[in-house]
Amino acid sequence: MRKPLKIGLSARFLHRVPREMGFRGKKLQYLEQTIAHWLMTASALVFMVPSIAGGGLLRRGNVRVADYVAELDALVLQGGADVSPLTYGDQALKPEWEGDRVRDMYEMDLVQEFIAAGKPVLGICRGLQLINVAFGGTLYQDLSLRHAQAGGHHDREAYDQNFHEIALVPGSGLARLYPGLARAHVSSIHHQGIKDLGMDLAVEALSLPDKVIEAIRWKGEGYVVGVQWHPEFHDPERPDLLDGTPLLREFLDRAETVRDGKSKATVPAGAGA
C-alpha cells in the first residue's frame, strides 16, 4: 500500500474568544471539520498548520514555516474571515470589512513556501482570494461595489445551503476535469470577490448571471488552484450540485506526483505581499 498523503490545512484565527469558552486572554487557531473530512474521504492525513509568531514560549528560530513544508505534501487554504484590504494596498471602507491582516500574513508565508517547494496549493473561498492577492491581485471589499445588483453569493441565514450557478471556462483545467459540463450549481458563502486578477493566473469559472470570478489557476509549472465555492459542503447525494471529487483527486494526484519526485516548481516573480 502507498503511504497516505500528508495535507497541511491553514488555520482559522479567533482573536477575541468569548469568555464562556474559558480561554481567558487567549487566542484560538482552529479548523472547520467539514474541510478536513472532505480531504480524509480520499484517505489523506490532515494536519492543521499553526502560525509561527514571536512572543510567549516560541522563538522564531525554533520552528520555521519551511520545516512544516518539508514534512507535508500539499496545502489547503480554508475559508473564514475576510482578507484585509491592507494586504492588497487598500483601506477598509467599513469597519466590518477590515478582515484579518494577521491571518493574511501567515497564509501568504505558507503559499510562498509551498510554491517554492513545488508543492500543490488549493484555496477554498477565502483561499481563492488569498491566492489572488499573493499573486499581486486585488479584491472588491464587497461585491455590491462591483455591481449594485450583485447578489446570490452570500446569505447568512442559508449559510451552506446557499447556492448559485457557475459557468466553466471552455478549454480550462476545470472544463477538462468535468468534460461535457458547461454549467453547475455550487455552495456560495462570500461577499468579497476578485477585482484585479493576479499575475499569471487564469480564470476557470464565472458565476451566473453576474460573472464574478469563481475559480483561478496558476499558469506556472506548479499546481496552484482556487475555487470561490465550498466543494466540501456539497452533498454527494445531490446530483444537482457540482461533485468536488474530480477537483480533490486532481489536487491529491499532483501532490503524489511531487512527493514521488517527478515535479518541481519555482516561485513566480509576481507572488508576494
Residue 43 and residue 109: Cα distance in Å, rounded?
Answer: 27
**Torsion angle, CA of 6/10/11/13, rounded to 10 degrees?**
180
164, 230, 250, 256: the catalytic one is: 230
204, 214, 232, 250: the catalytic one is: 232
> Other C-beta atoms within 10 Å of 144: how many?
12
Which residues are within 8 A (CB) of 43 and not within 5 positions of it... i.e. 6 or more apart?
4
Q: How far apart are the first and last CA of the chain?
A: 41
Q: Is 191 known to be catalytic? A: no
107, 113, 125, 164: the catalytic one is: 125
Beta strands in 37-141, from DSSP E residues, in sequence order: 45-49, 74-77, 121-124, 139-140
Q: Is 107 known to be catalytic? A: no
Q: Cell for 53?
A: 509568531
Residue 218 and residue 94: Cα distance in Å, rounded?
Answer: 31
Strand partners, 167: 183, 206
Q: Is 230 known to be catalytic? A: yes
List the catalytic residues: 125, 230, 232
